[in-house]
Structure 1
Amino acid sequence: MTQQNAAPFSQLDYMLERKRRRTRLVTKDGRCNIEYGNIKYSTHFAFLVDFWTTFVEIRWRFVLFIFIASFTLSWFIFGLLWYWIARSNGDLGWQEPPSDHNSCVENVVGLTTAFLYSLETQTTIGYGGRAITAECPSAVALIIIQSLLGAVINCFMCGIILSKISLPKKRAKTVTFSEMAVISPRNGSLCLSIRVANLRKTLMIGSQIYGKLLRTTTTPDGETIIMDQVNIDFLVDAGKDNLFFVTPLTLHHVIDKSSPFFDMAVDTLHDKEFELVVFLDGTAESTSSSFQVRTSFIPQEIMWGYNFLPIISRSKEGKYRVDFSNFSKVVPVATSHCAYCYHNIKGHHLHSREGHDNPGFEVIEIDNPPNVTKL
């Protein structure tokens, strides 16, 4: 009987999760869930004008196809031109040239040998079996044109591949956010907290953190605004701008009367419809390239009455240690059940409660608790 009842609930959870993914504007890994429709055909030429950005942003499979096609097609086209020059000079085997005949290109006697000579010329291989002579001025002009065009193709394709390999968004993959956000008291204020970590030891220069709350609102005139954006300010213990991002940081948004979270409570939070998008802009120290990391949180991913476990400690050798096993793990703390109560009702600052449970995370013990240092 228990197994029969478990199936519908698992199916319902699966459908709810799919609905959340469809309605989310920014996925957890930072991709934007948006599509464009009814674009005028004339605007498509804008992508061709900005061809460099178009080539850099297309997928690797298309880059490899263009790489192979550009070289192969150029070899074949110039092979046809070399075949045409040899045919015009009577160098081909089926033309039966006399023994004292002066060829434009030695040992180019057919289409296959013309293609091989084209390949050897453009790739500067030069096996020595085929070589141009001074007999035909058109052949001299053609080898100059092919050499220049081959150098252009080489530079262009190498630049595209190098640009795709060194894209700043690859650096953003090594910056991660916590899976959940928490709401709990901190330093005399009720705060919404998010944890972020730089997985590389190289620093991020000029890091800035900010957020946008996306929600659907209705104006007094009855106009519905989809994705109305509200600025969300975040603070960290180390400051707001120019962060020393050498260890994981915890971002804090103070829930005061000016905060859009002020009218929410523990029992109404998950009934709201909004999306909190968090941005982190920075510059990689090793490459000096700017990049942006994004993630988002929906109401079901915000835990009221919880706080993150500490993850920074110092070993006996004096080294600082970051335990990433506790990065997204939380522990319940005494928290008022609403922001209004926290600020206006005396005695609700430390209202004891168990918090809103999330079975996806568990609390673990930390070694040497006296040596734990919070950041």
Structure 2
Amino acid sequence: MKVFKKTNKNLKTDNQTGFGTNAANYGGRFLAKDGSANIEKRGLPFFDQISWFHTLLRLPAWKFQIIIFSVFILVNFIFAAIYYFIGVEHLNGIVASSEIEKFGQVYFFSAQTFTTVGYGHISPEGFLTSAVASSEALVGLLGFALATGLFYGRFSRPKAHLKFSENAIIAPFQGGKALMIRVASYKNTNLTDAEAKLTLAMRIEENGVNVNRFFPLDLEYSTINSLTLSWTLVHHITEESPLYGYSKEDFTNEKGEILVFVKAFDEMFSNTVAIRTSYIFKEIVYGVKFLQMFEHSTDKTKTVIHIDKLNLFEQAEV
């Protein structure tokens, strides 16, 4: 039955995924776990392939801060070197007994000029030194404007604060079995009108040629009014499902991928946010069921959701 289903011409396919049908030129999975496309772009100069604005917005906070501080130190080092080679005698107020101390004072003068603080302890003298100092002040103003915009963009960018379970599962459901994936909101945000879509991606052989085929997986509930607790995405594996007839060994030995797309309306940003991920067959656990992850509080006045239990499951007969 399994082979028949995979080659059944009556199965509905999704031809609008954007991944194409030529399986011979694809490697690995279609989507990474973080939802990014598993694509490497070549054929252009390195700097033409990257949107620095989007890259800086998406960097982890610690990497972004390291880049900001590194650029600040590097720019001031460059200007300090320029002042030093022009001659420290053109900077009034420098008192130092060694060359390292002179360079250190020149560096901190550069930092004061770059940030437009200007304590006044050291001042430029002469046309060339003054021109460099005024140019550095302009670079500093533009640089801090750019950094401020990036900080604002990182904080104000709408983001779907949703976590997916690490594994998809095959669990008992209504006398049969179902594919289940759990998702939960983990921030103090209000998400409404949530919508989910699952797609099965497989490389199959048709007329002696390997092709990519994408099969939409119907959900028990594809939309919910409010995503306040956890939401279990349930695809009932019936005879109409492309997963019908698959056993535990099939999920272990065969290659396939479940593409997950979720979008919702964020009331705080008054905007739609979206997130995606995927599960290859080896990340699907067969014959288990998710454990309950919320309960009432001690005084029974609130519902408590345990985000750390998002991926907890136990054995179950299917």
State the TM-score bracket (shorter-chain normalisation): 0.5 to 0.7
CA contact (8 A) 2:35 2:275 kept: no
CA contact (8 A) 1:168 1:291 kept: no
1:118 match: secondary structure: helix
1:155 matched to 2:138? The reply is no
2:235 match: secondary structure: strand
**What's the CA shift for 1:52?**
1.9
* Structure 2: distance between partners of 1:318 and 1:115: 59
* Structure 1: distance between partners of 2:109 and 2:306: 61
With CA pairs under 8 Å and 6+ residues apart, which has the higher RCO, 1 or 2?
Answer: 2
Deviations 1:26-54 (CA, angstroms, capped at 9, x unpaired): 56x536694637x22x3423136x33224
Map residues 194-209 of structure 1 onto 2, 5 A cutoff.
194-209=181-196
Deviations 1:165-212 (CA, angstroms, capped at 9, x unpaired): 77766x64x5232634234333x8864333322233432244221112
User: 2:122 — aligned with what?
Assistant: 130
User: 1:233 — aligned with what?
Assistant: 218
CA contact (8 A) 1:177 1:196 kept: yes
* Structure 2: distance between partners of 1:47 and 1:300: 31
CA contact (8 A) 1:281 1:291 kept: yes
User: 1:292 — aligned with what?
Assistant: 275
1:209 match: secondary structure: strand
**What's the CA shift for 1:292?**
0.7
**Structure having the larger proportion of residues in strand:** 2
User: 2:34 — aligned with what?
Assistant: 30
* Structure 2: distance between partners of 1:25 and 1:160: 30
Of 135, 142, 151, the residue aligned with 1:145 is 135
Question: What letter corresponds to residue 216 of structure 1 in structure 2?
Answer: R
1:185 matched to 2:169? The reply is no
- Structure 2 vs 1, CA of residues 272 and 154 (structure 1 numbering), >3 Å: closer, same or farther? same
CA contact (8 A) 1:311 1:327 kept: no
Question: What letter corresponds to residue 34 of structure 2 in structure 1?
Answer: G
User: 1:217 — aligned with what?
Assistant: 204
CA contact (8 A) 2:198 2:258 kept: yes
CA contact (8 A) 1:255 1:261 kept: yes
1:218 match: secondary structure: strand
- Paired-residue identity, %: 18
1:243 match: secondary structure: strand
Question: What letter corresponds to residue 167 of structure 2 in structure 1?
Answer: E
Question: What letter corresponds to residue 153 of structure 1 in structure 2?
Answer: G
Aligned alpha-carbon RMSD (Å): 4.1
* Structure 1: distance between partners of 2:225 and 2:191: 8
CA contact (8 A) 1:194 1:250 kept: yes
* Structure 2: distance between partners of 1:46 and 1:248: 41
* Structure 1: distance between partners of 2:48 and 2:69: 25
- Structure 2 vs 1, CA of residues 23 and 81 (structure 1 numbering), >3 Å: closer, same or farther? closer
Residue ranges of structure 1 left out of the alignment (5+ in a row): 1-21, 93-103, 333-354, 357-375
Map residues 64-79 of structure 1 onto 2, 5 A cutoff.
66-79=67-80
- Structure 2 vs 1, CA of residues 268 and 295 (structure 1 numbering), >3 Å: closer, same or farther? closer
1:249 matched to 2:231? The reply is yes
User: 1:117 — aligned with what?
Assistant: 109
Question: What letter corresponds to residue 30 of structure 1 in structure 2?
Answer: D
* Structure 1: distance between partners of 2:280 and 2:75: 50
Of 259, 263, 269, the residue aligned with 2:241 is 259
Question: What letter corresponds to residue 196 of structure 1 in structure 2?
Answer: V
Aligned length: 283
Q: Which has the larger radius of gyration?
A: 1
Deviations 1:133-161 (CA, angstroms, capped at 9, x unpaired): 7xx55555444322111112223334445
Question: What letter corresponds to residue 225 of structure 2 in structure 1?
Answer: L
Of 23, 43, 46, the residue aligned with 2:48 is 46
- Structure 2 vs 1, CA of residues 108 and 241 (structure 1 numbering), >3 Å: closer, same or farther? same
